Amino acid sequence: MSRKDRMAELDNAIGDLTATRAARPVPPRSAIPIVNQIESVFQDSAKELETLRDSGRVLLELDPADIHSTQYQDRHTAAFADAAFATLVQDILRHGQLAPVLVRPAADGDGYELIAGHRRTAACRQLGRKVVARVMQADDRDLLIKMVQENEARADISAYERAVQLKTVLDTGLMSRAELMERLDFSKGHLSNLLKFAELPATVVAALDDPRPLKISDGAKLARLMAESEEAAARVEATAAELSGKGADDNLSFAARLRALMAAAQGEGVVEPELAGERVIRSRTGQVLVRLSLHEGRPILRLAAGLPPQALDALFAQLPEALRRCGLDVPD
């Protein structure tokens, strides 16, 4: 047999052997160890991802509809309608949400409960975009501690909003006064003023329109004066009701509203507040009889309700002469 023939026979033998091995069925159990290893890797990765997510180290994009406000919300409703909120909406529209909000899984399993980032969430909801969030596993105590700590580090939270939150912390019984003072490094007097500040009735807070500019000292003083006597409380409540009835056109400033409430609390003659840029004529007791103001460049003269008819007749009779003295051609 020539060398060429021997090589051909060897090739045929090798081919038959390869075909025979390829045709043999592979026992099913031989693949199980590999499958188990793959499943184990995926399970370990899923557990690791869940651990990272629960510790807040993984960012999620959540539908705003799945994020619910907490009962411990610290923001006043005015914080979602002011110029700062409008700026926040525009910033997120242009640059995206740069700082994630903090949430925890809702107790009833329905979405998430907001811990921090109420205005960012509201802005994203208004823009119809998803909210970048960190998920934190926290009970009520952990949630409140986190909210209080974040508020103390923020400059844009008002004293009133902080006071309401601290009162909520104590009302729930999740923290004591001593623990609050220790965690926040507050003196007993400072915490007492904040908590007194938060005791202002809702009607009085509403009369201020936006209570966020209210200083701790003023809020605490007003609350203490109301607590000292039923008469003072009744006067303040009556003034608050009057102020709350003022329409948008009245444009009362915060300072004017606070002065009126303080005057009522101290039993002073309640001086009706003036509008920005207006002129008034008052009675000796401080009642505003006539208001002159400008609205969109148009002068508006307002007379107090209840003026006697003879006063109205006398006032109207004086107008022609006053106009003539100003150079206007008004016939006699």
**pLDDT tens column, 281-306:** 876 546 678 888 877 778 888 887 77
Nearest Cα to Cα of residue 216 among 168, 163, 151, 152: 163
**Residue 330, pLDDT score:** 82
DSSP H/E element including 2? none
Look at residue 109 and tell me whether its pLDDT is greater than 70: yes
Q: Which of 113-122, 224-233, 262-271 has the lowest mean pLDDT?
A: 262-271
Q: Select the CATH number that applies to the domain covering 49-72+85-138 from these four: 3.40.50.300, 2.60.120.200, 3.90.1530.10, 3.90.1150.10.
A: 3.90.1530.10
What is the crossing angle of helices 177-184 and 188-197, to 10°?
110
Q: What percent of the chain has pLDDT over 70?
A: 72
**Extents of the domains making up the chain:** 49-72+85-138, 279-326
Does residue 192 contact residue 163 with C-beta atoms inside 8 Å? no
| pLDDT tens sequence across 225-239 | 999 889 889 989 988
| pLDDT tens sequence across 36-59 | 554 554 455 445 445 545 555 668
**Residue 267, pLDDT score:** 81
* Residue 248 banded pLDDT, cuts 50, 70, 90: very low
* Residue 174 banded pLDDT, cuts 50, 70, 90: confident
What is the crossing angle of helices 159-172 and 177-184, to 10°?
140
More confidently predicted of 178 and 84: 178
Tell me the one-letter amino acid at 47.
Answer: K
Nearby residues of 274 by Cβ (< 8 Å), 6 or more positions away: 256, 280, 288
Look at residue 77 and tell me whether its pLDDT is greater than 80: no
Distances (CA, A) of 152 to 146, 184, 192, 200, 273: 10, 8, 17, 22, 34
**Residue 299, pLDDT score:** 84
Does residue 235 contact residue 201 with C-beta atoms inside 8 Å? no
CA 58/CA 60 separation, integer angstroms? 7
| pLDDT tens sequence across 3-36 | 556 555 545 554 554 555 455 555 554 445 554 5
* Residue 84 banded pLDDT, cuts 50, 70, 90: confident
pTM, two decimal places? 0.51
Look at residue 167 and tell me whether its pLDDT is greater than 50: yes
Half-sphere exposure of 42 (CA within 13 A, CB side): 6
Nearby residues of 319 by Cβ (< 8 Å), 6 or more positions away: none
**Residue 3, pLDDT score:** 55
**Residue 130, pLDDT score:** 92
Query: For residue 201, how many other CB atoms are within 10 A of its CB?
Result: 14
Taking residues 97-114, what's their average pLDDT? 86
